[in-house]
Chain A
Amino acid sequence: MNLDNLRAASDLLSRLDDKDFDLFESLSAELTLVPDEQLFKEHDEARRFFIIEDGIMALEAIRPARPATTIQTLGPGDLLGLSWRLTPHRWMWTARAVTDVRLAVFDAAIMRAACEFDKDLDRLMWEIVAREASKRLHHTRLQLLDLYGSE
């Protein structure tokens, strides 16, 4: 699918050189979801990863006897899915669409093979995953501070 519109909004795509960007484009497909549609389930095998084009996706924890609790939402431009890169390649959370959502989808196995083949791409993907994980940790810790709570 054509990823030109998404390139500026996505941290990952904006860091690719033209050669790698073309590769990603050729490996991508588009996926649409309706509100409340589940994209992947916690502990399932992580066979794909995504970049959100439009709409809001929620990462949530399934809990007994109550509705799922959303940990965090992700929106346009955000990378959805880090577990494809790290063994055991299993989703840590469940992902569900909050609104109508359009996503760019990438096959994890093919992308891992491409990284095996191209060491520079491999290093770049690790950096991007690490950066995203660090950012999520930072944001989660901010949420834990409960800054807006009664001080």
Chain B
Amino acid sequence: MSGIVVDTDQFDSLIPLLAKRGYAVIAPTVHEGTIVYDEIATAHDLPIGWVDAQEAGTYRLIERNDGSYFGYTVGPRTLKTYLFPPRQTLLTITHAETGLAFRPEPIEPPRYAFIGVRACELAAIEIQDRVFIGNDFADPLYEETRRRSFTVGVNCGVAGATCFCSSMGTGPRCANGYDLVVTEIIDTDVHEFVIRSGTAAGEDILELLEGRPTSVADSLRVNAIVADTEAHMGRSFPEDDAYQILTNNLESPVWDAIAERCLSCTNCTLVCPTCFCSTVEDVTDLEGTAARTRSWDSCFSLDFTNLHGHSVRSSPSSRYRQWMTHKLAYWYDQFGTSGCVGCGRCITWCPVGIDITAEIINIETRSKVVAK
């Protein structure tokens, strides 16, 4: 796989290049004070010159005006929105000679080109691949959407205050899962992009761009940027001990303490790139056709575990415990990996600022106190 270094004009040309090949180009863009993923038409729609300031329960955009394309980290929207749509129709049901006829919806997702995908997000997609494709049953829409998509990853040049990808082993360097990976080099007198291909499809696109081949010096600069990002992670997480800490402390009083603050607002599950829970709804229209739709659901909602009119997890404490132990412990039993990629979104977007990196330390500390 090869690499080239391009200037901003050449990088800008990547977007119409992909669009001409029939891709819907999805990239970061500023929208209502946040940087989200959305379909863009040109490179001018990227959040050029914007950076984000994140902390537990806060998110702010700051205009830096340095012309950087990727000077921010991650926003509230994830690529889950495209790969696992918030609402999809699964099948339609009509009355027929056989009583009822069930017709699956045709699987024809758009061809997406994702630009600006961070290492943590690539890791999240790989995790969702295990859930939706690598499991006992594959989800056809997810599988096809993935198959048709083109991914341009970005190595982070800055770490956010709530980021902890290095603790989780998912970043900041994009390891795999991309067709192309980009590192932005921005300095007083230079603004260029080191682009490497990761697949044959990426190689094909790379050949259409004009730039100079990457040199050892370019590689060293990329390494330095990634190392610097890694050294400035905003948070850390005890990943090696997480499984034991959580599964050994299911009755810890810390869960109740967290629950006193938790609003069960489901924000964390909405912004988390790996959460996959869904619900199914059956609706009818006035003309005798019924449809079954699948939509995102959250284990924080009260009726998520409804059984004959009562919720198995009726307390916020039990629901918070479920989310955290599932994401950080049970995911290993189910899918062979952690469910968390260290993107920090749940910390930023929690209205009361509950921080899982702090809470796991609380649980561990509390368990040692009891043991004494």
Contacts and interface: CB of A to CB of B under 8 A. Distances in A.
User: A and B, one complex?
Assistant: yes
Nearest to A150: B308
A151 B308 CA distance: 6
A126 to B, nearest CB: 36
Nearest to A151: B308
Contacts of B308: 151
Contacts of A151: 308-310
Chain B interface residue number, banded: under 10
Contacts of B309: 151
Interface string B91-114: 000000000000000000000000
Interface string A96-132: 0000000000000000000000000000000000000
A151 B306 CA distance: 12
A56 to B, nearest CB: 33
B306 to A, nearest CB: 12
Contacts, number: 3
Interface in B145-194: none
A151 B310 CA distance: 8
A59 B309 CA distance: 35
B194 to A, nearest CB: 62
Contacts of B310: 151
B314 to A, nearest CB: 13
Nearest to B310: A151
B309 to A, nearest CB: 7
A121 to B, nearest CB: 43
Interface string A139-151: 0000000000001
B244 to A, nearest CB: 36
Interface in B51-71: none
Interface in B269-308: 308
A49 to B, nearest CB: 43
A73 to B, nearest CB: 29
Interface in A59-102: none
A150 to B, nearest CB: 8
A54 to B, nearest CB: 40
A151 B309 CA distance: 7
A121 B310 CA distance: 50
B308 to A, nearest CB: 5
Nearest to B309: A151
A51 to B, nearest CB: 41
Nearest to B308: A151
Nearest to B307: A151
A84 to B, nearest CB: 44
Interface string B303-335: 000001110000000000000000000000000
B195 to A, nearest CB: 60
Interface in B72-103: none
Interface of B: 308-310
Interface of A: 151
The 3 closest A-B pairs by CB, nearest first: A151-B308, A151-B309, A151-B310
3 contacts: A151-B308, A151-B309, A151-B310
